[in-house]
Amino acid sequence: MARGAAVEQTVEVPDSLITGEIEEDIVGNIISIDEVGEGVYEADISFRAELWAGHLGQLLNLVYGNTSMNPHIKVCDISLPNSVLDAFPGPNFGVDGLREKLQVYDRPLVCSALKPRGKSNGYYAELAGQFARGGGDLIKDDHNLVSASFDDFADRVSRCQHAVERANARTGGKCWYLPYLSCRLEEMEKRLEYALAQGVNGILIAPMTMGLEVVRSLAERYPIFIMSHPTMTGSMYVNTTNGMEMALYMGMLMRLIGVDASVFTNYGGRFNLSMEDCLRTADRLREPMSGLKRSWPVPAGGMQYERMNILKEAYGNDTILLIGGSLLEHDESLETATKELIEIIS
C-alpha cells in the first residue's frame, strides 16, 4: 500500500513503465514502515520538494490525491520543508497582529455569532452593538447568514459595522465585526471591497465551500484578517481509516492558506471530536512554522457559557473562544452576558 501511494501520488503508471530516472526523481521514497497496531501500519513516504510545483492544488494532490479514494489510508502527519512553507505568506495578522490591533494582551479573545438566520438586518446590528458594548472582541455573521443579493449583504454589513463602531466610540473598545463572505465567485471581490470600504478589517469564509485556493488567493491579495468556518470539512478528518488527522486539515493547512483564526468543532460540544485532536489542532495553528505567523485556534460548536474557564485552561490564552447560541440564550441582555463572560475568562 505504501508503494502504491508513492507511485499513485506522482506518476500513476504500472511499475513496468517506471524507468530508473523516473524512479529516482519522481516516485515517492518509502523511508520506513512500522506496525503500530494489529494490522495497522505507519508508513513514512518522502517526496522531492519541487514536485509540488509551487501551488497549493498540486501540494494537496501530491500528499493525498488519488490515495484519498483508498478507504484504508489516512494521512497522520505532513512535514513540509521551508522551501514550500516560505512560498506561502500565511496569515496577515495572526495572534500577535490581532492582539496589537485590539489592544488585548492578557486573556483569550471572545467571539460571538449573529444568528439565527431569518431575522432582520436591524436585529443583527442591534446584537452586534450589544456585544461590542459588552466589551466583546470579535462579532461575526453566522455561517448560515447568507445573502442572495448584493444589496442585502451591503445593508447588513453597513448596519452591523456602524453599530459596532458606535459602540466602540462609546466604550473606547476596539471590537471587530467579521461579515461572512459566501456568494458566487464572480461577486466575491465586489462584496469584499464594499465591506472594506465600510471599515471592516476581516471576514469569515468557508474554505471547503468557496475553495481553499480561493481563500489563499484572497489572503495574499488583501490585507485582511481571515476567520475560517469548518462547514463541510468534516469528511476530511472524522473518519478513522481515511482522510487526514484533524490537526493537519484544520490546523496546518488552514494556517498555510492564510487563515488567521480557524474555527473548529470542539470536544464535548454537539460533535464527538476528541480532546486530543482539538488540542493538536491548536498546536498546529500556533507552533513554529518557518516564517508564518501564528494563527488563532477557535474552538466552537455548542459551547456552554459556564465551561469557558475550563477551555481557557485547556487551550491557553492565545485562543478565541467562540460562543454563539449559549450567549444569546443568557437571561440578561447580550451586553450584560458578554461583560460577565469576559470577567469569567479574564
Contacts of a copy of itself in 62-91 (CB under 8 A): 64-71
Rounded Cα distance between 199 and 94, Å, is 19
> Which CB, 98 or 233, lies closer to a copy of itself?
233
Binding to a copy of itself (CB under 8 A): which residues in 131-150? 142-144, 146-148
172: left (phi over 0), alpha (psi -120 to 50) or beta: left
Residue 107 Cβ, how far from a copy of itself at the closest point, in Å?
26
> Which CB, 36 or 148, lies closer to a copy of itself?
148
> Which CB, 68 or 317, lies closer to a copy of itself?
68
Q: Does 333 bind a copy of itself (CB under 8 A)?
A: no
Q: Does 234 bind a copy of itself (CB under 8 A)?
A: yes
What torsion do the CA atoms of 190, 191, 193, 199 make, to the nearest 10 degrees?
Answer: 160
79, 151, 184, 313: residue in contact with a copy of itself (rule CB under 8 A): 184
Residue 319 Cβ, how far from a copy of itself at the closest point, in Å?
19
> Which CB, 1 or 169, lies closer to a copy of itself?
1
Q: Does 103 bind a copy of itself (CB under 8 A)?
A: no
Q: Are 113 and 298 in contact (CB under 8 A)?
A: no
User: Which of 232, 120, 111 is closest to 164 using CA atoms?
Assistant: 111
44, 213, 283, 340: residue in contact with a copy of itself (rule CB under 8 A): 213
Q: In what order do the strands lie in the sheet with 261-265?
A: 202-205, 225-228, 261-265, 296-300
Strand ranges, E, within the chain: 29-37, 40-46, 74-75, 109-114, 138-141, 176-178, 202-205, 225-228, 243-244, 261-265, 296-300, 320-322
2, 102, 238, 345: residue in contact with a copy of itself (rule CB under 8 A): 238
The site string for a copy of itself over 262-301 (x = CB under 8 A, - otherwise) reads ---x----xxxx---------------------------x
DSSP 27: S
